[in-house]
Amino acid sequence: MDRAPTIKDVAERAGVHAATASRALNPATRAMVNARTAGRVHEAARALGYAPNSAARSLRTRTSSVAGVIIPDLRNPVFPPIVRGIEDALREAGYMALLGNTDGDPERERELVAAMRGRQTDGFILATSRRDDTVPGSPVPTVLVNRRIDGGGVPSVTADNAAGVHLLVRHLAGLGHTRIGHVAGPRSASTGWERYRAYLDAITSLGLDQAAKAVEFAEAFTEAAGHAATLDLFAANPGLTAVLAGNDLIALGCYSALAELGRTVPDEVSVTGFNDMPFVDRQRPPLTTVRIPHYEIGREAARLLLERIGSPEAPTKSVVLPVELMARASTGPAKPQDS
């Protein structure tokens, strides 16, 4: 035998009709068939090394047990653990993941979604972060990661950005800081925006120096953009004693910018990040940040998607996962300053 065995081969060997073999092999319909016959079919399948042709099955059932996972760039250190979590949860349910990168380009995202839908993808997990994006319309179950659609109505999994920012601001305030600036992530990214809103909120609710609501938006979640934005921030607000960065990469940009300005961290300026990505505990100085449960976010997103595929009409859930303050050496007591 040259080509892979089909269900007909199995049926023939078991002395039954293909339809019966199909029923016997499919867990959902197995009850319809005589236990002894089913046994023979399974035995035959095993002997032949039968594996169902999923193209044929997809064509017939219009499902594929494949989910599309779309992210901006796998090289951004936050995504690998998320994708790994997604993959693990999908595999446990017999699903596989088709992966695609968009580099943040909405056009690429549309193309990818279209291509994946053509491949009968059963659902999507979108970890692209634009706020204004519309979700690929229509009937394909979709779950958002690290992002929410303003109107709601689409299930999502996010870390508790607001709580994280509050933890950081409270931590800084506890060290005596009152003039805390913010190098925010891009306005177009929902995480950047949420953390920015939380920063404003935290400063107000802790009764800190309102005049110190000093904010500069970075162009991107990168070290270079963080560097540039930090220089601007301090040019306008030289008296800051602490900087809350939109994420860890931006915080590293703060490090280099502050070095350029001749300010030491944390003696003169405290710096905080967000994400606790790998190796920020080994930077110089080790970065105070907020740990988000990347892997769990991925698992939860996959779980939500599977749930949704199972019952598309169920009310949309959104899951917010807790975060944790990681206090390290990049933050220290505020020194009294003149000016």
Partner DNA sequence: TTGTATGCGTTATCAC
Partner DNA sequence: GTGATAACGCATACAA
| β-bridge partners, 300 | none
Burial of 274 (0-12, 13-18, 19+ CB in 10 A): buried
Q: Which does 91 bind (CB under 5 to 8 A by kind): DNA, its own copies, none?
A: its own copies
> Considering beta carbons, is residue 37 or 76 the nearer one to DNA?
37
Give the nearest distance from C-beta 26 to DNA in angstroms: 5
- Whole-angstrom Cα distance, residue 34 to residue 19? 13
What share of residues in the chain are helix, strand, coil (percent, to 5)? 45, 15, 40
> Considering beta carbons, is residue 18 or 206 the nearer one to DNA?
18
Asked if residue 261 binds its own copies (CB under 8 A), the reply is no
Asked if residue 42 binds its own copies (CB under 8 A), the reply is no
Q: Which tokens go with 15?
A: 């002395």
Give the nearest distance from C-beta 32 to DNA in angstroms: 5
Which residue pairs from 133-141 have beta carbons closer than 8 angstroms and sit at least 24 positions apart in sequence?
133/106, 133/109, 136/110, 139/312, 141/305, 141/308, 141/309, 141/312
DSSP track, 57-76? HHHHHS--SEEEEEES-TTS
The one segment of 28-36, 86-94, 126-134, 233-241 that binds its own copies by CB under 8 A: 86-94
Asked if residue 205 binds DNA (CB under 7 A), the reply is no
**3-state secondary structure (DSSP) of residue 262:** coil
Whether the CB-CB separation of 261 and 268 falls below 8 Å is answered with no
Q: Which tokens go with 166?
A: 């509050």
Give the nearest distance from C-beta 95 to its own copies in angstroms: 10
Which x/- pattern over 225-254 shows residues binding its own copies (rule: CB under 8 A)? Answer: ---------------------------x--
Give the nearest distance from C-beta 109 to its own copies in angstroms: 13
The one segment of 49-57, 161-169, 230-238, 241-249 that binds DNA by CB under 7 A: 49-57
Asked if residue 22 binds DNA (CB under 7 A), the reply is yes
Q: Which does 29 bind (CB under 5 to 8 A by kind): its own copies, DNA, none?
A: DNA
Among 87, 109, 122, 194, binds its own copies (CB under 8 A): 87
Give the nearest distance from C-beta 35 to its own copies in angstroms: 26
Asked if residue 32 binds its own copies (CB under 8 A), the reply is no
Tell the residue number behind the tokens 């060290």, with chain if given. Answer: 175
Residue type, position 221, single letter: F
Q: Which does 83 bind (CB under 5 to 8 A by kind): its own copies, DNA, none?
A: its own copies
- Pick from 273, 186, 194: nearest CA to 225: 186
Q: Which tokens go with 169?
A: 């601001």
**Footprint on this chain of its own copies (rule: CB under 8 A):** 4, 51-56, 58-59, 64, 66, 69, 73-75, 77, 79-81, 83-84, 87-88, 91, 96-101, 114-120, 252, 278-279, 282-284
